[in-house]
Structure 1
Amino acid sequence: YDFGSGAGFYVNATQQPWAPHYRMYDYVVKELPQLVENELPLNGERSVSGHSMGGHGALIAALKNPGY
């Protein structure tokens, strides 16, 4: 897919036609953790990990959400 200049897999789209539905940052930081917590017996402690582009996304999410 070509999402345009500056697009990435760990951002919320800001331009049409992608903005209403391409909200990857919100999915990874908000929706996905809640889905995992609802399905698995977790203790509330969190860590972040990733490799290559996933590591970049994990680091950015952690830096934008200290204490989360």
Structure 2
Amino acid sequence: GYDLGQGAGFYLNATQPPWATHYRMYDYLRDELPALVQSQFNVSDRCAISGHSMGGHGALIMALKNPGKYTSVSAFAPIV
């Protein structure tokens, strides 16, 4: 079976060369993208996350692995 929050997500950081250097999707979505948006736009530092299908699963996993980071999480038809 699959336990939500315990399995691997679709958004991850590669761990094997040569991909480990540049494929860091989890870090990008969790850290870099919010920082970029906040630096370029007049937005609050409060952050929500959402997604559909594969993205919904990713949003749920991201929120579960980072308690307190997101003010809300929405998953539309997530793959679970």
- Give the TM-score normalised by the residue count of structure 2: 0.70
Aligned to 1:63: 64
C-alpha distance in 2, partners of 1:10/1:27? 9
Q: What is the distance in 1 between the residues matched to 2:67 and 2:24?
A: 20
Contact 1:48–1:62 (Cα < 8 Å) also in 2: yes
Query: Which residues in structure 2 correspond to 1:26-45 (within 5 Å)?
Result: 26-45=27-46
The one-character-per-residue Cα deviations of 1:4-35 (angstroms, maximum 9, x if unpaired) are xxxx7510001111111111100010000000
> Percent same amino acid at aligned positions?
66
Give the gaps of 5 or more residues in structure 2. 1-8, 70-80
The code of the aligned residue for 1:11 comes to L
The total of aligned residue pairs comes to 62
4+ long deviations beyond 4 Å: none
User: Higher relative contact order by CA 8 Å / sep ≥ 6: 1 or 2?
Assistant: 2
Secondary structure, counterpart of 1:50 in structure 2:
strand
> What is the Cα-based RMSD across aligned positions, in Å?
1.7
Deviation at 1:60, TM superposition (A): 0.9
Structure 1 regions of 5+ residues with no counterpart? Answer: 1-7
In the TM superposition, 1:1-68 aligns within 5 A as 9-68=10-69
For structure 1, which segment, 22-31 or 36-45, has the greater mean C-alpha deviation from structure 2 after superposition?
A: 36-45
- Could you tell me the TM-score, scaled by structure 1's length? 0.81
Deviation at 1:39, TM superposition (A): 1.0
Amino acid at match of 1:16: P
